[in-house]
A = this chain, B = another copy of it.
Amino acid sequence: MPNHVYKKIEITGSSSVGVQDAIENAIARAAKTVHDLRWFEVVETRGHIEGGKIAHWQVTVKVGFALED
């Protein structure tokens, strides 16, 4: 079995809906330009507040993908 090498990039997804949607937006966007995404790790969850309510959730994830040999 070959010895794969992976790269991890750090991206922040935002969403007015919630944490999970913000993560899915981030990964969907990454999948447009990077093939072979394998895993993600949540590193920070925060958001903006407007008028006393959460306007945007912002979730930062590290996303790993396999580099081609």
Contacts and interface: CB of A to CB of B under 8 A. Distances in A.
Contact of A19 (B5, B20, B38): B20
Contact of A49 (B40, B44, B53): B40
Contact of A5 (B6, B26, B45, B54): B26
Main secondary structure of the interface of A (DSSP, over half): strand
A52 B27 contact: yes
B42 A15 contact: no
Given A29-B67, A49-B27, A52-B27, A13 B19 contact: no
A56 to B, nearest CB: 8
Interface in A1-56: 1, 3-16, 18-31, 37-42, 44-49, 52-54, 56
